[in-house]
Amino acid sequence: MTIPEEGCLLRIHIGEDDRWDGIPLYEAIVLRARELGMAGATVLRGSMGFGKASRIHTAKVLRMSGDLPVIVELVDSQEKIDTLLPELDEMVAGGLVTMERVRVLKYGAAPER
């Protein structure tokens, strides 16, 4: 698979407890991106954050709030990202979705060990 040098980064900020069809939302997004043949996806779990409601979510033992912040990052061409956006509109009920242009410097699998 190739990716153009000028690509797009789609960043989706959601909660760890968010669900889609009975599975974690972040997992559903990654699986759908893979089905669409996108170049790659990464899920990052935050240790602390807040969103529009200004409620703090943290992993601290004394303030165990659960529903920690999760960020799903997808990088591919603008066209591929655009194919996923209508589906994300249905899947992501609350959160933040951003998109920015990126310059892809390297894209490839690590050599076998």
| pLDDT digit string, tens, across residues 26-37 | 999 999 999 999
pLDDT value, residue 22: 95
Phi, psi of 21 (to 5 degrees): 50, 40
pTM of structure: 0.84
Selected residue with higher pLDDT from 5 and 35: 35
Candidate CATH numbers 3.40.50.10490, 3.30.70.120, 3.40.50.720, 3.30.450.20; the one for domain 6-103? 3.30.70.120
Paired sense of beta strands 40-45 and 23-24, if any: unpaired
3-state secondary structure of 3: coil
Average pLDDT of 14-22? 94
Residue 63 has pLDDT above 60, yes or no: no
Q: How far apart are CA 71 and CA 27, in angstroms?
A: 11
pLDDT higher than threshold 70 for residue 59: no
